[in-house]
Structure 1
Amino acid sequence: MTTVGFIGLGIMGGPMAANLASAGYDVIGYNRSRPAIDKLVEQGGRAADSIGAAVRDADIVVSMLPDSPDVAEVALGEDGVLANAKDNLLYIDCSTIRPDTSRTVAEQASPRGVRVLDAPVSGGEQGAIDGALSIMVGGADADFAAAEPVLNTVGKTVVHVGPAGAGQTVKAANQLIVAGTLELVAEAIVFLEAHGVDTEAAVKVLSGGLAGNAILDRKGTAMLARQFNPGFRLELHHKDLGIVQAAARDAGVTIPLGSAVSQLVAALVARGDGALDHSGLLKLVEELSGRADQ
């Protein structure tokens, strides 16, 4: 039985670890807060009281963490992944972080005999629960081949996109598209409502044409009902758009629409709405349109 150390059992990591346990992997989970560990144990996993305890006996380690500094600390820290890894460990980081951080981890892991993949995911909480995530993977060909059984357990679309850091670059592009699409869907809904259109019918027909997209399919109904329970929080998308902007600047690429929606997300986070789902962009469009109380 392959032993998987899983670090980070939050909204995304928890269901992913549970799916691995259900598939027959020996999953040892660690999280900063204990309730998430206990939940994994109830779902067939084992508990670790530290990063080292999750890593020492693992053949594969998966991490799902909030930001670049978290990954750097977990991977490179005194009691981190590299410090506790056995020879030839395969470390798969599914967090969404800066591409340069992923490359740094891979570079420092290689002399220690640790294989590293950056494998950020897309699909939100429901995708994690259903084992239907889209996973974009950066790293060596052989390491990707070794990781495919694990990745195919938690994902539906798993694609090797290039060397170390490439997965994070593709994920940045994903977050750019998602943010822009969310904003346009929000604007369309407010526009339709202002004209007194049957918005449910409108969303149905729009979904069937060229304007159809995953945002309309997965979030349209909740947006119409003003239900912004977080599947992916605005504060996390704010972080991701910062990664996009930095990477675009490094490459000398302009992203005018991306920069605009980044400012709108930043405004929502700054005023205290960061814990809402990223579809909460609709709130700001309503307010800017003078329709918040209608």
Structure 2
Amino acid sequence: MKGRAIHNYLVTLYAEQQPDTLLKYLTKQGADPALVCYDAHYALRICLEKDLLEASVSLSALLGQWEAGVGRALRDNPAAALKLARRADPEIAYTLYKNIAEHVISKNQDVSEAMALLAECPELKIEDILPFFSDIVNIDDFREPICQSLQEYNNQIEELKAEMEEATKSAEYVRSEIQSFRNCSVLVSVTDSCSLCALALLLRPFYLFPCAHRFHADCLRAEIQPTLGPARRNKLADLQRQLNTFTNAELSAATSNGLPLREVIRNEIDDIVASECVYCGEHMIQCIDKPFISDEDWDRVKREWE
């Protein structure tokens, strides 16, 4: 605190006696308000009292007071205001550029100056600055930027059309795939076995995937459960608990969508467990670095092989 008080006093002395040195001092201190040795709010107040425009603009930027800083710079130096606006974040800079344009155009109604400002501020469009001109300005002077702006909008429309066409084609493809799956059938033989436990498939409820892999429901749950996140794992356990503990009357009760509760629960379990084949989906990719023999089984397997 003592060191800061000394620097604050130094700022006061510079502001009163050596304004040019004050600006150099502020620049040397850097642009991080947490690291400067003086109180930035105090320094700004002193500079405003002494009407030190450049220093107050610099301090406004340091404190993130971009609009106030640009407003102060516009009183004397629009170029400094433009330079300050370029330092701001893009979402703030757009507003600052509009403020600068409004000040410059409202003051002079100079078309050439406005066009130069457009060239320096690519964020601004012709439609952003037109409202700042009076009604008597000849629109012919804006023909080129207006045509350019219309061409840009036309290009954007064409890009959106292309994206919409691509999205439509993708939707049609997905729709046709869904329809083909609805009409798809697979013959299950009594000799078919679970791809995980190798026991007869028809012994227990099972899942059959389009890739031809087939799993007992309990085998697939046991395989997929360790890969689930905590939330989905708890959700699966809760659904299983409901299915096992609710009475037949409760499970047969219709839900808000008209389906029995039993079917709703099973659909949610299917979404978690059988959203994709455990051998052909992301699960297999995630297991690519998983060793064939787990650490806890290594000693046992090693002894068996000896």
TM class by smaller structure: under 0.3
Q: TM-score, normalised by structure 1?
A: 0.22
Q: TM-score, normalised by structure 2?
A: 0.22
Higher helix fraction: Structure 1 or Structure 2? 2
Greater RCO (CA < 8 Å, at least 6 residues apart)? 1
Higher strand fraction: Structure 1 or Structure 2? 1
